[in-house]
Chain A
Amino acid sequence: MTDPTPTPENPTATDVEPEADGRVAAWKLLAGNPVTLFSVIVLVIILVVALLAPWLAPYGVNQTDVTRALQSPSAEHWMGTDDLGRDIFSRIIVASGTSLQIALVSVIFAFVIGVPIGIISGYLGGITDTVLMRCVDVMFAFPVLLLALAIVAILSPGQLTTMIAIGVVFTPIFARVARASTLSVRVEPFVQVSKTMGTPGWWILLRHILPNITGPVVVQTSLSLAFAILSEAALSFLGLGIQPPNPSWGGMLFDAQGFMSQAWWMSVFPGAAIFVTVLAFNLLGDGLRDVLDPKQRTLAEARRKA
């Protein structure tokens, strides 16, 4: 037997790699991507506006002035006024807080319940999987809005009910995504290796399965945030979400539908608010997915160095 040399097989490969201490912080990489940076800035602005809405709003949300009803955008009313003479700009920024809150709480709810169900179901398989997934299937079988409608109808409409309804409706989606990814990760050799070392199941779930399914789950989360905003808008539009006269983007769209031909600003501005927020969440999700994947990350790090 020849004595093996202590040099690694491929010394040239190490030259192009970042040094051990050359790691770049995740936020720096996130900020390095212009699209992600843009979406983060937009979301931060929305968040700040939502928090400061009571002070920022130039008019009261329910300050009616029928003499000034249905005015087009002007210096006084940036986004015009609605049929009761309320300032649309004020209503939109106040409603942003409600919309974000509902979206975040309902998605966190769905994530916290759905992901554990999904990974446990996918990892254990067998009878556990069958039982859990049949329950999820039953929840899935209802159309999203119908299920939300039923929940709202039972619990009487309001902000909390809307959150619960959207959260419950989104739970099976998270469970499904987590389970599908778990199924493919759990047969990977590195999971097998870990099992051969006598690693307990919860450890494998936390250290091996969960980090390796972050890609699809993060994307699902950002999509769900976007859909939650849309669902809230839809429920409010149907009169089952935020109750008038409290402002919400969906409720404002509902109010606008009778004035489509006379007052375009009544529908365009709340619609644009939904659009921008939903888009920003989606773009952020894409950026996060890249940073959370070490392979993409090394590429991004190399690009920064080049």
Chain B
Amino acid sequence: MSDSSAAQTVLRVEDLRVAIGRKEIVRGVNFQVGRGGTLGIVGESGSGKSMSVLAATGLLDAPGAVVTGTSTLHDDDGAGLALTSATPKQLRRVHGNSIGFVFQDPSTSLNPLLTLERQISESLETHRGMTRRTARARALELLEAVGIPDPESRLDSYPHQLSGGQRQRVMIAIALACDPAMLIADEPTTALDVTTQAQIIDLVKELQHDRGTAVVWISHDLGVIGQVADEVLVLKSGEAVEHRETVSLMDHPSHAYTTQLLAARPVLGRVPQPADPAAEVVLAVEDLDVAFPVSTPAGKKTIHAVDSVSFEVRRGHTLGIVGESGSGKSTIANVLTGLVEPQGGTAQLGGTDLLRVRGKQGRGLRRRVAMVFQDPFASLNSRMRVGDSIGEPLTVHRLPASGSRSDRIRELLELVDLPTHFASRYPHELSGGQRQRVSIARALALEPEVVILDESTAALDVSIQARVLDLLARLQSELGLTYLFIAHDLAVVQQMSHDVLVMRNGQAVEQGAAEQIFDDPQQDYTRMLLAAIPPERPAAV
């Protein structure tokens, strides 16, 4: 695949610019992809990576956006088509037929009202003029190719009957339905678990190998890019700062921004500052049981979200809880914060059982466990100023007893490295990282003993994630906090945790000291999770 540059060019983009109003979002980007080659485009959110590719393929649908530059598609016919100046009719012929798209969110990119067969055959019927029956046969073939188990019966199922990974496979099947000359994958694995991510990467590589499709893979994750791409284009504020062959870029980044991106990326092998092993146990959870009733076609049944899980956390320590989505790790957080009622078990916090207290006493206890949620956008009330959000727990608990509330809010903002005048801003005026800092400040307002961090950095860009993780580590050592660190990214978990609990299907698969879990995993499942992490250096292709 390394000779892809010599191969026939499929898409050539020259001096592409996108402007919205007076603001230029993409400033002169050049790239080309050859048959069978993969171009990785990396950058942080807002760097214009999706915008460039959408503009280059004529799919940009932003009001008032002005696209200049050229983007030429050479598909199998050989004739070049200028995509930036093509008419809507020409574009419709190309989209789906010569260019396939896979987007980030597999749960919303499929139409919930159509069966898989209809979704796949749609483009076949429009572009290839296939009859319903031949299209169905082709759809079956595609489902098989993307590795959907039992494709025959799956043809008539609806998207909600599939898992996230399977939906993304279906998206890929749809994108490949007409055997396009090129595939655009916009953060296709970001919403997936590491193990599923690894499978999707393998799938795309395999399909590419078989069909010689040119791939443009957009991601903020250099680890993923390192695995899939032959060449990497690094974008910063709409400009290409570096464009090189993958392995040499990873080994010898020439631009400071690339170096920074590489350094910020969570990699295995970093460990937190050691904590006092003799510290007292703050939180002891025993035999926790949580079940939800669910309605299935086969009738009502209960799902055991957490099945007799026990663990304890010592003061100043971090317990990392890892597992794939649906493993029950967030349910543990919700039980400890009182959002979900458990069926059984105890959670001792300094002598009181968190799960058995009610009323006023319960409210007092709520102060001692705080939680930071994943989504920095949704976890702040968009109609409340930042200061009011941070101050809310203080008001609810009638604190502080002495001194003024606004002083305390200022103090909390300073604690998370935010300027104090942010108190009068609204959340949407802040960046994702700043919002997450506000969430942390709010969690710390009541001086909790245990802070639950539920995927708290998962939605952030790598460089911002690195800074927020640093902040969390500093707060832990300064305030002696105890963390419950829930994450799916094992590298981040290793960086933060002293102890680790691995969960699968509601059960604790393995638990112990972090070094032991990472260096000498006992269970196959843990080994599989570790193996699915993208390696620090790109795989030699």
Contacts and interface: CB of A to CB of B under 8 A. Distances in A.
Same complex for A and B? Answer yes
Interface of A: 1-10, 13, 17-21, 23, 188-190, 192-200, 203, 207-208, 211-212, 214, 293-295, 298
Given A8-B417, A196-B337, A196-B370, A207 B384 contact: yes
Contacts of A189: 373-375, 378-379
Nearest to B336: A196
Interface string B338-380: 1100000000000000000000001111110111011100111
Most buried by B among A9, A21, A200: A9
Contacts of A211: 381, 383-384
Contact of B467 (A4, A188, A195, A199): A4
A199 B371 CA distance: 14
Contact of A188 (B378, B421, B422, B423): B378
A192 B433 contact: no
B252 to A, nearest CB: 23
A212 B381 contact: yes
A193 B367 contact: no
Contact of A20 (B337, B424, B432): B424
A64 to B, nearest CB: 56
A4 B373 contact: no
Contacts, number: 118
B339 A1 contact: no
A5 to B, nearest CB: 8
B431 interface: yes
B317 to A, nearest CB: 16
A295 B426 CA distance: 9
Contacts of B396: 197-200, 203
B446 to A, nearest CB: 7
Contact of B392 (A4, A7, A23, A194): A194
A295 to B, nearest CB: 5
29 contacts: A2-B470, A4-B417, A4-B467, A6-B417, A7-B417, A8-B431, A18-B429, A20-B425, A189-B375, A189-B378, A190-B381, A190-B389, A192-B379, A193-B373, A193-B442, A196-B370, A197-B367, A197-B370, A198-B396, A199-B393, A199-B396, A203-B396, A207-B381, A208-B381, A208-B384, A212-B382, A212-B383, A214-B383, A295-B382
Contact of B428 (A190, A194, A294): A294
A245 to B, nearest CB: 49
B398 to A, nearest CB: 12
B464 interface: yes
B60 interface: no
Most buried by B among A2, A20, A190: A190
A198 B362 contact: yes
A240 B473 CA distance: 72
B433 A10 contact: yes
B473 to A, nearest CB: 5
Closest 7 CB pairs of A and B: A198-B366, A196-B337, A9-B433, A198-B363, A189-B379, A10-B431, A211-B383
B419 interface: yes
Contacts of B383: 211-212, 214, 293-294
B464 A193 contact: no
Contact of A4 (B397, B434, B471): B471
A9 B389 CA distance: 20
Contact of A298 (B421, B429, B432, B442): B429
A1 B380 CA distance: 28
Given A10-B431, A21-B424, 14 more contacts: A4-B470, A6-B417, A9-B434, A10-B433, A13-B431, A20-B422, A20-B423, A190-B389, A193-B379, A193-B442, A196-B339, A197-B366, A198-B397, A298-B429
